[in-house]
Amino acid sequence: MSFTECKEFTKYFLKNYNSPEALKDVGSFILSIILLISIGLAMGLLLYWSWWNIITIVALGLFAFYVSMVWIDWKYSNS
């Protein structure tokens, strides 16, 4: 998220903080941050145990990237 997007989202949230949609968006953002931190911790633990797990880390990273791109295309389709 860029600084400009963060400012726009902050203005949107402060204007509509009582709406269920704004609260849902903030909840999704917080869950995304928690998910990214947990993925980072898991990758760090795998690397700490063995450098051979780099293959697993790369595979998980590529899979996560693919799933996120599919989810973004589904969520924010222009059709």
- pTM higher than 0.85: no
CA distances from 36 to 9, 65, 77 (A): 20, 12, 23
Query: With 60 as the cut, is the pLDDT of residue 79 above it?
Result: no
Q: What is the pLDDT of residue 45?
A: 80
The band of 68, judged by pLDDT with boundaries at 50, 70 and 90, is: confident
For residue 35, what are the domain limits?
3-75
CA distances from 47 to 1, 26, 36, 53, 61 (A): 27, 32, 16, 6, 13
Q: How many domains does the chain have?
A: 1
pLDDT, one tens digit per residue, over 11-29 is: 877 787 777 777 777 777 7
Examine the pLDDT at 77 and tell me if it is beyond 70. no
Q: Answer whether residue 66 shows pLDDT above 80.
A: yes
